[in-house]
Amino acid sequence: MVHFGVEFAANEKDKLDTVGVSTFNKNIHKETNKFEKANISNIDKELPDLSFFLDFQEYWIKPLANVFNISVKELKQTAINIVVNEWGVTLSERFIKDPRPHGHKETHASHSSIPSTQPYDFYLGYHVIFTMASRLLKSHPVVEGKYDWEDDLWADWISDHLLSMDNGYLLADLRDPAPLVRREWLSKKITDSWRWEIEYSDFLEGLLLSKGGRTFLCVTGSWSDNDGRGNNETYSVSSALVSVNNSASLLKALVSCRNPHDYKLPSYNEERFELDDSAFKLKGWLLEPDEYKKLDEIDPYAAELKFPIRRISKEHEELLDLHYSLLSRTYLDDKGNSQGFSETWTDTRSNDRYSDNIIRDGSRLYLSLDILKHLCVKTKLSLILEVSISRQSSTHDKDVPDDVKYPGPYCNLYTLSKDGVIRDYQSRSYQLR
């Protein structure tokens, strides 16, 4: 049997499938103050009052204690006993002394976060949590969840400490090189009015791409670039499907909003923003990311990589007969032809993960003009696209008002029809090929 590219004998795979799995029936916990006894370490009666690190008890011990209905107090005593008496760690009064000097920012952590550089007390606290978890799993049943969504408390707990993806790959494996083609303003002298010098062609530049003699459109994405001197530009693109007869009216209505944050093009099944009336439809077709980074978020090679990868909904993948490859980040049709691709990139920060230095990063999804025309035909709708551009300069002049120092984004909206014509709110149209 081959699993993630590694060959296993049948019995080896069966054994691996039992790792980290409870062998007990679930414990139906009644609403009482009675806790189960842990009994996973011979606790010394004269234990020191050891402090581990900030939030250790509330955000590390307590969630584990809840899985097995163990008192937080006993589990903390168990943790201290393991560190002091089983591992033989020497204390400095109530604290674990770290001989290494560290900057505060790189070792800072709050709640259940993990610092980029682990001080000694965090390292020990982190490992003692999993030592206790392993012993509890072998000796105690998992408590049955009180609510419908708590299907498996142990699986929920351990999931928060695993890699971001369950396919054996790291976040860093998704990292693409930064785009070679960059904006023209980066090679020019920046003027005082640069933040407002956004032209009509700038929006189309962020939307359209010519590659291999074919036309592609960015349907969703956010990316930024900077000149290394404090001037930063950010593009954002979103899209949705809209009734053909109402598309022009919607363009004019949305572009008249003073603040682009007053509206939102819906994601797939985002009901509070979708409209499904006989006379007017506005439907999402792209997935709103509902995953989040986990253990490998602190991997320096993952840096500030955006995750998860931007994707078409499963319903619309099937509608268009598209197949997505995660490793190549490409959409292929039934004939094996590329009809789209996603890309995500990031600079690597310095060792200080909390640095304010601007980095170059982004994530976006391009689809071919052909497949987007096919989408409009299959859904009998048009595609509406929003492109916004935001520019910031690191000016610290206290006399400059905030609305000048931090101007809002400039936005433009377009529709794409089944015949490949793109139109803006002023009824300017362009035939794409």
* Whether residue 356 is found in the same domain as residue 297: yes
Token look-up 């020191």 returns 48
166 lies in some domain: no
Token look-up 């609510």 returns 147
* Whether residue 18 is found in the same domain as residue 140: yes
| Distance from C-alpha of 251 to C-alpha of 249, rounded to nearest angstrom | 5
* Whether residue 74 is found in the same domain as residue 184: no
Please name the helix (run of DSSP H) or strand (run of DSSP E) that holds residue 73, with its range, or none.
helix 72-81
What pLDDT, on a 0 to 100 scale, did the predictor assign at position 29?
66
Comparing CA positions, the residue from 407, 77, 415, 34 lying closest to residue 246 is 415
127 lies in some domain: yes
Please say whether the beta carbons of 348 and 213 come within 8 A. no
**Residue 426 burial by CB count (10 A; 0-12/13-18/19+): exposed, middle or buried?**
exposed
* Whether residue 155 is found in the same domain as residue 287: no
What is the DSSP secondary structure assignment for residue 262, as one 8-state letter? G
Please say whether the beta carbons of 68 and 140 come within 8 A. yes
* Whether residue 247 is found in the same domain as residue 127: no
| Distance from C-alpha of 188 to C-alpha of 234, rounded to nearest angstrom | 17
243 lies in some domain: yes
80 lies in some domain: yes
168 lies in some domain: no
Q: Which of 161, 186, 205 is the last residue of a domain?
A: 161
What pLDDT, on a 0 to 100 scale, did the predictor assign at position 373?
98
| Distance from C-alpha of 97 to C-alpha of 170, rounded to nearest angstrom | 33
**Residue 258 burial by CB count (10 A; 0-12/13-18/19+): exposed, middle or buried?**
exposed
Q: Which of 131, 161, 191 is the last residue of a domain?
A: 161
What pLDDT, on a 0 to 100 scale, did the predictor assign at position 354?
47
Comparing CA positions, the residue from 329, 311, 344, 320 lying closest to residue 222 is 344
* Whether residue 180 is found in the same domain as residue 79: no
- Global pTM reads 0.85
Comparing CA positions, the residue from 116, 157, 151, 111 lying closest to residue 134 is 157
* Whether residue 316 is found in the same domain as residue 346: yes
* Whether residue 157 is found in the same domain as residue 178: no
How many domains does the chain contain in total?
2
Token look-up 């809209």 returns 242
What pLDDT, on a 0 to 100 scale, did the predictor assign at position 18?
78
Q: Which of 128, 161, 194 is the last residue of a domain?
A: 161
* Whether residue 217 is found in the same domain as residue 135: no
- Residues with Cβ < 8 Å from 186, sequence gap 6 or more? 225, 227
Q: What 3-state DSSP class applies to 408?
A: coil
pLDDT per residue as tens digits for the range 79-97: 999 999 999 998 877 788 8
371 lies in some domain: yes
* Whether residue 240 is found in the same domain as residue 265: yes
* Whether residue 273 is found in the same domain as residue 382: yes
Q: Which domain holds residue 121?
A: 2-161
- Residues with Cβ < 8 Å from 255, sequence gap 6 or more? 411, 412, 413, 425
Tokens of 50: 């050891």
388 lies in some domain: yes
Rg of the chain over Cα atoms, rounded to whole angstroms, equals 27
* Whether residue 269 is found in the same domain as residue 398: yes
- Residues with Cβ < 8 Å from 346, sequence gap 6 or more? 175, 302, 303, 304, 305, 306, 359, 360, 361, 362
Question: In the chain, which residues have pLDDT < 70?
Answer: 1-6, 28-32, 103-104, 147-150, 291, 348-358, 395-400, 402-406
70 lies in some domain: yes
Quick check: bond before 308 cis, omega within 30? yes
Neighbouring C-beta atoms of residue 4, cutoff 10 Å: 8
Please say whether the beta carbons of 127 and 83 come within 8 A. no
Torsion of CA 248, 254, 255, 256, to 10 degrees: 110
